Structure 1
Amino acid sequence: MNAWLEGSVPCSDFRNSEHRFSASRRPRKDKRMGLFKKGDGSSQTSSQATPKSKSRMSVEFGGRRSGEFLSGVRKSKKPMKAVWNGVVLAQSEKCEIYDGTFYFPSDALNMEFYRSSDFVDNHPKLGRRIFYTLEVDGKQHNNAAFYYPSPTPKDAVRIANHVAFWKGVPVSPVGEEEESSGSDEE
């Protein structure tokens, strides 16, 4: 029978019994409650069982450690634009940023390129999301723009009815060349 099932895990380097780890002393994660159960029957939260260390080895992304995100909405420091198929779809100095995504106010959109889409989904964090299909020079880019009519977190209310882009629609600061004009067709 497997040593793990018998209640202990042997070390590969040592053969005597004093160098065995008891499985009953190891914390086991209770997946239903997000708790770790210790061998003595008591429980502790995952933050108590595995403290988060601020390692020098963590990778930096956007001025913050990976896994750490800024919460809340903040204003863009530069005027931004969204371009697809060589046409400016939106341009504004009043963009909002939430979780790394730029949201344009509705008055900054060139609405002649937007068509209502039948696709609506429910984002797990922000709530109901409504999509637009982009149409430029006869080319369509389905569900490439979206907005939240009433985002659920309190820290995201400022992005309500602001439009964001994805699926190959680059957003860049005004005055800088976009990396790709994103002439994808769907």
Structure 2
Amino acid sequence: MPRAEWNGAVLAESDTFETVENNVYFPPSSLKSELFTKTNTHTTCGWKGEASYYTIKVDGKENVDAAWVYEDPKAAASNIKGYVAFWKGVKVTK
């Protein structure tokens, strides 16, 4: 079962997930939502659309923009709509 961890905390864990470009995307229901704060950061992917970012906070430490989501992706990426992926030192295991 895929799991995302950072700073000793499990951020997400689920048997339901999508893998796109070697990134595991977790469904929103699998997130420990109290650890996530939406930021004003956005990036654009040519085929997926606009990504929005979250800062993760665990035990007083912050990992800024360490998670992202495509809330309204282009049709080609509709399978990851609302799903969250990680980077910046977040360990994702399958």
TM-score normalised by the shorter chain: which range applies? over 0.9
Residue identity in the other structure for 2:6? W
Q: Deviations over 1:53-81 (max 9, x none)?
A: xxxxxxxxxxxxxxxxxxxxxxxxxx100
Q: In 1, distance between residues paired with 2:38 and 2:15?
A: 25
Residue identity in the other structure for 1:150? D
User: Which of these residues, 47, 50, 56, is aligned with residue 125 of structure 1?
Assistant: 47
RMSD over aligned Cα atoms: 1.0
After the TM superposition, which residues 1-186 of structure 1 pair with which residues of structure 2 at under 5 Å, given as runs? 79-152=1-74, 154-173=75-94
- How far off is 1:125 after superposition? 2.6
Q: In 2, distance between residues paired with 1:116 and 1:151?
A: 17
Q: In 2, distance between residues paired with 1:162 and 1:87?
A: 19
Residue identity in the other structure for 1:91? E
Count of paired positions: 94
Q: Give the 3-state SS of the residue equivalent to 1:155 in structure 2.
A: helix
| Greater share of residues in strand | 2
- How far off is 1:124 after superposition? 2.6
Q: Deviations over 1:130-152 (max 9, x none)?
A: 00000000000000000001221
TM-score (norm 2): 0.94
Q: In 2, distance between residues paired with 1:130 and 1:95?
A: 18
Q: Where has structure 1 moved over 6 Å in runs of 4 or more?
A: none
% same residue: 37
Q: Give the 3-state SS of the residue equivalent to 2:63 in structure 1.
A: strand
Q: In 1, distance between residues paired with 2:35 and 2:21?
A: 26
Residue identity in the other structure for 2:65? N
Q: Deviations over 1:76-96 (max 9, x none)?
A: xxx100000000000000011
Unmatched 5+ stretches in structure 1: 1-78, 174-186
- How far off is 1:101 after superposition? 1.0
- How far off is 1:155 after superposition? 3.3
Residue identity in the other structure for 1:128? E
TM-score (norm 1): 0.49
Work out which of the two has the higher radius of gyration on C-alpha atoms and give 1 or 2: 1
Q: Give the 3-state SS of the residue equivalent to 2:77 in structure 1.
A: helix
